[in-house]
Structure 1
């Protein structure tokens, strides 16, 4: 995340502001944060993942979304709405064509970069795991060939370091690190 705006906004003000902006902003605790541009490695990894997930998601009646689809969730800490732009999401919820956000992803993927690593591994990971629909949260590093996965196990979450293969529950698909990092030199 980059620097926050200097004044708090309501969710309605944020949505109006976002509709008029060419820059993506996340909304956390009433503040907006501009999203920095991504490196070639980051973009390639996100595109590889979206392409790999798409066929399995479609087969399961779900959809794959990339970083322009917003995730809206409500923090259980004070019922505050939050808006994030994960790198890749899979959701089986039915959305109208004009929808600009989703609320029930079954998979969230964040590609970690130097500027997002801390947020993606800490408070975003915590907020994402509060989603009842979420079955897995995959974090893939853009600077080294490494990944980690939070997998829902009933009401608990298991944390796994990805070795060479990752099996995802939604969509049900097995991915290799070679596929994820295709075209990326790390």
Structure 2
């Protein structure tokens, strides 16, 4: 196990430090914070997102990235979103997303507050991020935050609650219905 006693002080130091850790960490307010594991529902939603987004974004110049690629925010944090749409150039050796454009987080009751407040602040500070999508695990409930033209991310998200509702990101050419996102979870329709 790598020593946790030497904490990185900058994001660059964090990237080097993180590669030697057994568990994944995020870099928040200058501190490495160990990430918790997820549920099977979380894993299934994440897989559904990646499969559908990969199908729909082929040839678009944008690529869905899984939770192993970190997003460096302009707020000086490093986050591992559940899925990132990256529209930057491909670099197979890169540890970070080149141009994160949409960020998806799957929340539980224990992560709801940080996802709604702290991560929203971090992603809003990053001008390339045009959409922040929050997905509940236990019910049809998705919040889509989008950046206003030339401004910040709107604090009034689109709220989706029915299986036939869809996350629509027209600037990326991506549409994902809630039925697709939650496929295989056995949720009752609203």
Q: 1:74 and 1:92, CA in 2 relative to 1: closer, same or farther beyond 3 A?
A: same
Q: Would you say the 8 A contact 1:106–1:170 is kept in 2?
A: no
The partner residue of 1:149 within 120, 144, 152 is 144
TM-score (structure 2 length as normaliser):
0.85
What is the alpha-carbon root mean square deviation over aligned residues? 1.9
Q: Would you say the 8 A contact 1:107–1:170 is kept in 2?
A: no
Q: 1:24 and 1:169, CA in 2 relative to 1: closer, same or farther beyond 3 A?
A: farther
**1:96 partnered with 2:94:** no
In structure 2, how many angstroms separate the alpha carbons of the residues matched to 1:121 and 1:6? Answer: 30
Aligned to 1:74: 74
After TM superposition, give the deviation of residue 31 of structure 1 in Å: 1.0
Q: 1:14 and 1:173, CA in 2 relative to 1: closer, same or farther beyond 3 A?
A: closer
Q: 1:103 and 1:82, CA in 2 relative to 1: closer, same or farther beyond 3 A?
A: farther
Q: Report the count of equivalent residues.
A: 177
**1:165 partnered with 2:166:** yes
In structure 2, how many angstroms separate the alpha carbons of the residues matched to 1:7 and 1:29? Answer: 16
Q: Would you say the 8 A contact 1:73–1:103 is kept in 2?
A: no
Higher RCO (Cα < 8 Å, 6 or more apart): 1
Gaps of 5+ in 2: none
Would you identify which runs of 4 or more consecutive aligned residues in structure 1 move more than 6 Å? none
- Is the partner of 2:58 in helix, strand or coil? helix
Gaps of 5+ in 1: 76-80
Aligned to 2:50: 50
In structure 2, how many angstroms separate the alpha carbons of the residues matched to 1:169 and 1:21? Answer: 38
Q: Would you say the 8 A contact 1:128–1:137 is kept in 2?
A: yes
Aligned to 2:19: 19
In structure 2, how many angstroms separate the alpha carbons of the residues matched to 1:170 and 1:143? Answer: 29
